[in-house]
Amino acid sequence: MKERAMALCVQGENCSRAILRAASETYGFPLSEELLMSCNAISAGFGVGGICSALVAAVMVLGILFPVEEAKQKSLILLCRAQGNWNCVDCCRLSARRENCNDLIGEIAEMLEEIIREE
């Protein structure tokens, strides 16, 4: 999934669309055009440098794949790991540390896969 998410980013997909599409292809869940279009409104940290939209998309994937309580638990783990790894979860500070976000998208996809596999 990591490589696919990064490739989608290189092809021009925004961060959240890249995560959702790569996860959909990997785990076999359908994506509606409406869901993909909704990603346009959350890219670039909701347009104001807020929470990273790739992390938001990763949380959405967990909501698709798991029952409510397990999705919430795994989402908390994801966000805590992201905070621990980068000392922030907001787009503005995460992107300021990089030339582009392709590697970050890959790291988030990899982190998401690890959390999906965990019991």
Residue environment code for 57-87, b if the CB has 16+ CB neighbours within 10 A, otherwise e: bbbbbbebebeeeebeebbeebbeebeeeee
In sequence order, what are the residues at sequence separation of 6 or more whose Cβ sits closer than 8 angstroms to the Cβ of residue 20?
A: 31, 35, 36, 39, 57, 60, 61
- Tens digits of residue pLDDT in 78-88: 999 999 999 99
pLDDT of residue 69: 97
Q: What is the pTM of this model?
A: 0.93
The rounded mean pLDDT for the chain is 92
Residue 69 half-sphere exposure toward CB, CA atoms < 13 A = 0
CA 101 to chain centre: 12
* 19-55 residue pLDDT tens: 999 999 999 999 999 998 888 887 776 777 788 999 9
Over range 54-72, report the average pLDDT.
Answer: 97
| Alpha carbon distance 97, 114 (integer Å) | 24
Going from N- to C-terminal start, the domains of the chain cover: 2-117
pLDDT bucket at 95, cuts 50 / 70 / 90 = confident
